[in-house]
Amino acid sequence: MNLLVALFFLHNVLATAFLGGKFFSRNDKVLKSFGIALLLNCVAFAIWSFAVITKPENLTTYVTYGVIFFIAALVFLLNTGAQNLKSDTRMRLLIAGSIFGLVLFYLRTFAYPATPSFSPEGFFFFNIHPLIQMFYIFGLVISSLPALNLVASKFKNMYGMLIWFCFVIEVIGGIILITTTDAQVLYLSGWIMGIAYFTLWASLLFSKKAWLTNK
Q: What is the average pLDDT across 66-82?
A: 98
Burial zone of 41 (CB within 10 Å; 0-12 exposed, 13-18 middle, 19+ buried): buried
User: At residue 1, does pLDDT exceed 80?
Assistant: no
The CATH class of 3-211 is mainly alpha
User: At residue 142, does pLDDT exceed 90?
Assistant: yes
Of the pLDDT bands very low, low, confident and very high (cuts 50, 70, 90), residue 157 is confident
Of the listed ranges 83-97, 179-193, 198-212, the least confidently predicted one is: 198-212
User: At residue 62, does pLDDT exceed 70?
Assistant: yes
User: At residue 212, does pLDDT exceed 90?
Assistant: no
User: At residue 213, does pLDDT exceed 80?
Assistant: no
d(CA 14, CA 183): 24
Q: What is the pLDDT of residue 156?
A: 85
Domain ranges of the chain: 3-211
User: At residue 208, does pLDDT exceed 80?
Assistant: no
Q: How is 113-153 classified by DSSP, letter by letter? A: ----EE-TT--EE----HHHHHHHHHHHHHHHHHHHHHHHH
Quick one: what percent of the chain has pLDDT higher than 90?
A: 90
